[in-house]
Structure 1
Amino acid sequence: MNKSKSIHKSTQSMRIQEIQLQPVFDLTAYEDGFVFVSASFGYDGNLYILWIDQIPERERGMFVQSDLQQKRVYKVLIVDSVQHCVQGITTLESHFNLHYVQPLGEELLLVGARSRYYGQDYYDLNVKIVDRQGQLRHELLLGDGIERVQTSVEGNIWTSYFDEGIFGNFGWHEPVGAPGLIAWNRQGEQIYVNTKADIADCYALNVVSDQEVWFYYYTDFQLGRITDPYDQPQVSLVETGLSGSHVVATNGAFALFQSGYNKKGSYSLLQQHGENKLSLAQKFSFISVDGDADELNVLDGRKDQLLFKERSYLYMVSLNELPRA
């Protein structure tokens, strides 16, 4: 494991470069009474969008429910991010409160962020594997408090966890997500467990491949890189100088972050110098087709791309479109 302080240029004199993005897909025709839940990149480069017919109420107005009293209808839209066309639509019903969708071979992985522990061998199975027609094939437990989930081409599942999933809530005295970052096979067996980073909240996850995974976490605000995770894992950790980013896109030479807490519209491009140093190369502000930066919400980072949503439009940016990257 390598730990090193970053080398940063002064941000006081660096001008923020504004870049206007163009929509890659309009969701309007497919919403049809559904409420947007999430959207993310799949390992195949396609976009996976999840809707629900009605957002479940929070318990006591605070806590996200896990198992629901009433079935909800979900819709998954798969969009080709290159051709900008629909590849498939799946609808299903579930009593579970689902938040994320990812491809898993010919099937779909739907994940609920929360899982409640009721007693020995009695807990919510918060992962549903369904076929492309929406029929349930398998259920798994991947732990409470899931912050991010990304699958890989080999059918493995990476999960990062927020604080409640790491330290325990919803009845979990020995939380599944205590390591902060775990990889699973499709049978729900752990095949990689973080032991190097002291994670209190794993904000960002980027599964480039089954040989290369990046993550960013609180409290150290370091960027982690894992190579060969299943056989001979090597982990490097480097300070970023950024506090509170929730996404990262990388091509290995550069990493693009949201700039941190209370900096919604600002993005920082850091240059990698070996495994030990990062330097600030450029700062960006991305704006929508209407010239609005505040309403452009970043949703996901995968490989060298970030995904955004503004109203019913999806936007993307890749590092090869940016100056100095």
Structure 2
Amino acid sequence: MTAAPAPLSPAAANALSAFLRGVERRALVVAELQVGDAGLAERAVAVAMRAFVGHAADLQMADWPARFWGLLCSTPQLLAPPAGGHWPEQVAHLQVLAPAERLAMLLRIGVGMDEPAAAAVLGVEVDAYRQALAGACPRDAEGYPDANGWRQLAEDVQARIRDLSQPRLQQLEQLRESVISGVLPTKPAPAPALTFQDDRRRPAPRRRQREPWRLRTWLLLCVPLLLLAVVAVWWWRSHAPAAANTGNGVSDTGPVQVEELPDDSTPLAPGEDAHAAADAAMLADPRLALARDADFLAWYAAGGPLPVDESQPQPSRPEPAGAALETVDAEN
């Protein structure tokens, strides 16, 4: 039984989740094309992810890719895939290859590793890895390496990685989350006997019996307080107004007495004018005539033209313009 990894810190969990999200598609497609079985490929990827998360905290982030692919390629499903695998027609060339040659080729065209890195992942020398690639290379009709066949095979593998179905993507996401959180896949529910024993031990009846006691306690506390408040209001209404109005006559309810007050105003004598003295002084002032003609004198001092005497009757028709000109010439 595989042990669950220890809980991770938030920073480590985020870093591991980002790394696994970047490699999970390629890992699943490479494993499936290596073994020819989708179920075996999924189990191999799950084993590699759990093993990687358990040791990733002790490694530098630069070493994570080599560690992960090394764990995936070392799983029994990829090292010795069982017979009876199935490969699509576009990548049928992989079916005729030996497992070691097929894995070497998939690391190159599926993962994109260079020769030294792929050799380190497989644990072989670079020359041995090159020989495996040479044996996996497609051949033309004359037995020579087929560059176009190699290129077409690489494009088909990349298309399968890019066009992975949505259900498989969701499955990878669930696997990644379970690995990061340290939670194994859900197990069957416990036996019914345990559930029955747990139900018998629940103190449910006690909780139901406590509710009436709580309500009764609140009533016993609130009723005396309400009675005390009512008594206090009644006492305040019956005593507070009388004490406040003592001695000011407001509380006297006797009949209202009406008394006529004397008139203090002294009316003026008939024919007497209150402003007569002031008017007499103004009329006796010798400058009254000048004050009445103040507007005319101000206009005259300013040198304005003589105003038209509108008191005299005006001609019904204006004089011809020539008459005025002749008068001016005559005067000159």
User: Does TM, normalized by the shorter one, top 0.5?
Assistant: no
TM normalised by structure 2 equals 0.23
The structure with the greater share of residues assigned to helix is 2
Normalised by the length of structure 1, the TM-score is: 0.23
In proportion to residue count, which structure has more strand?
Answer: 1
Which has the greater radius of gyration? 2
